Amino acid sequence: MKKKIFLFFKILLFFFFSLIIIGSIFLFLYIRNFPLPEKFTERYLPQSTKIYDKTGKVLLYEIYGEEKRTIVSLKDIPEYLKQAVLVAEDENFYSHKGVDLKAIIRAVLVDLKLKKPIQGGSTISQQLIRSAFLTREKTLRRKTKEVLATFLLEKRYTKDQILELYLNQIPFGSNCYGVESASQTFFGKSVKDLTLEESAILAALIKAPSYLSPYGPNKEKLFERKDYILDRMAEKGYILKEEAEKAKRKEISFQQIKNPLKAPHFTLYVVNLLEKEYKREYLEKAGLKVYTTLDWELQKTAEEIIKRQVKENRKYNAFNASLVAFSPKTGEVLALVGSADWFGTPYPEGCEIGKNCLFEPKFNIAIYGERQPGSAFKPFAYAKALEKGFTEKTILWDVQTNFGVKGSKPYIPQNYDGKFRGPISFKEALAQSINVPSVKVLYLAGIEETINLAKKMGITTLTKPPSFYGLSLVLGGGEVNLLEMVTAYGVFASEGYKTSPIFISKIEDSKGNIIKEAKITPKKIISTQVCRKISDILSDNEARAPMFGFSSPLYFKDYEVAAKTGTTQNFKDAWTIGYTPSIVVGVWVGNNNNAPMKKKAGVYLAGPIFHQFLEKALKFFPKEKFKKPSFSLTQKPILNGVLPGNHSILFYIDKNNPLGPPPSNPSLDPQFFNWEKGIENWLKTHSL
């Protein structure tokens, strides 16, 4: 009998352990294919890449895919919001072990009664597991996985850790995932700045993000649930009843749903730079923080002034404008406006983009537009001539001159005012932007040498042979873009050092580690003295007054500002570019289709935009003066500002060696007789 009993227990024990083994195998096979909660620490949550201004406080743009998300710490989430979520989704969160049996039983009874799997009963922990790893189907298999994983989750993490994961994981609709993204999208503020009523709104959305969307037809239902949550918060003692009632009455305004895009031409160029280095898919999920060089206050100022002034310029048939502000010391692009209004519509209505539109809002003139700079190109020729040994006091003849050599077409440039002044110094000619002597300066400096200097200073668009441009180059015969012109003028502002333009100062990964940082690498291009001479000429208001007047847009009371205007033939482009030691500002005005404007010079069309912007911008920078250049007497009277006789400079100076011996036979120079003839004709009707 004892043996039979022993055998029975032995068989029973065998079946018991077999059942345990089979059950364990079954359980292992059942759950082996779904991630365990330990994976949360390894799990990659997609986060949008954010592009900021230089302060990191102004969001310019967000690059995201299907999930727009920003991870935040639980300590940065207000207590109001945490409490609102608890009363809305799981009021026993801090007391249960992951599964609320009472809530499940209640949900099952309701589902049985309705004969549909409708009622929930999931805790925050269960919702987190389901949202992160499982589907939303309501089957026994999925529910079993959910419960098992939830128990493991609760064992692995603290309640606060689970709540933080949950608040960064859950969807809120409109591509928003997590409370920070939802707060920024719906209220335009960080989650840490949410009010009580706004916190209740976010908590209300969790139940049915699409159905309760503030932009959908069920907005009243959203407010009803918000009020319910506020009442529950008062019942639980999180807030006073008076606070709840006050919050119910508060008016709530929602941001218009759109992907913010500030400083569009600047920002989209930054996106272009990022996409050249990183794949778009990576940017949509990596959670990078991109800190640009943009000064948001200067950018807003530039946009407002351009929009206002272009309306004024329309009476002169000028429908577009562009502006770039640049730091010559750091290379930072501080402001960039690529057109009068990125959000505007092409003009005239129905015009064909790229062909016959006077105004194309999306085209970035500042970076991609190649236009003739007019007289704004002159400083490069003067700088090269000064570098060769000519001086700012060098005397030239401003007389009508045919620069066409034997076998070529006549080239007889005119001055803007139609006058000829006779003997004139380099300084006077550049300050007053006199054309004829400037053409002579280019000839003395050398066309190829001037182009090479411009290239070193940042101009990349002059790619044709020097013969293609000829002497008209100094009057704007070659096409350039505004950003490069501003960069090149920055060399004058920094006394000879070129710093390439920088749009991105640094990039951080989602954890705040710096993965890329801009390096300032100034390169010496031209001598300090040459730059000081150019700045001295362009900032001398008295020297330019005979042409521009004493109160032109180029003049700033109590500030030294070097400035140059440019107007192309047929008045297709108007420019003003100027600088201090701290900032360079360039403005272009014209039409996208190259249609001519009314006969107004750059100082009248681009000058007002330049002046209004720089007048405000100067307040953000220290008041600096240009250092005065030194002047050394040479052995050549004409270089010292003394006219030895009634001959052109080619009679006294070898243009390739200004400080060397005079030419033994000046007539060998192909321009000699042209220049002499011009002087001879002028002297017939004028006396010195």
Give the DSSP H/E element, type plus range, for residue 179: helix 179-187
Cis peptide before 522 (omega within 30 of 0): no
Strands 333-337 and 523-524: unpaired
Q: CA–CA separation, 401 vs 336, rounded Å?
A: 40
**Other CB atoms closer than 10 Å to residue 62's CB: what's the count?**
18
The stretches of 592-635 forming alpha helices (DSSP H) are: 602-605, 607-617
The conformational region for residue 555 under phi > 0 = left, psi -120 to 50 = alpha, else beta, is: beta
- Rounded distance between C-alpha atoms, residue 555 and residue 547, angstroms: 13
* Interatomic CA distance for residues 28 and 26, integer angstroms: 5
Q: Which of 89, 154, 164, 428 is catalytic?
A: 89
388 residue type, one letter: K
Sheet architecture: strand order including 68-69: 68-69, 176-177, 171-173
Residue 508, token pair as written in the block: 């951080």
Tokens read off for 222: 């959203």
* CA–CA separation, 200 and 202 (whole Å): 5
CA 152 to CA 133: how far, in whole Å? 13
CA distance to 49, 167, 177, 285, 604, per residue, from 65 (Å): 10, 20, 11, 7, 47
Contact in structure between 350 and 359 (CB atoms under 8 Å): no
Max Cα distance, the chain (Å): 150
* b/e map 646-667, b = 16+ CB within 10 Å: ebbbbbbbebeebeeeebeebe
Residue 148 CB burial class (10 angstroms; 0-12, 13-18, ≥19): middle
In degrees to the nearest 10, what's the CA dihedral of 346, 350, 352, 357? -40
Nearby residues of 174 by Cβ (< 8 Å), 6 or more positions away? 185, 186, 209, 213, 215, 257
Torsion of CA 412, 416, 418, 423, to 10 degrees: -80
Q: Catalytic pick from 183, 375, 510, 539?
A: 375
Nearest to 287 by CA among 73, 133, 513, 132: 513
Active site residue 375: yes
Active-site annotation, residues: 89, 375
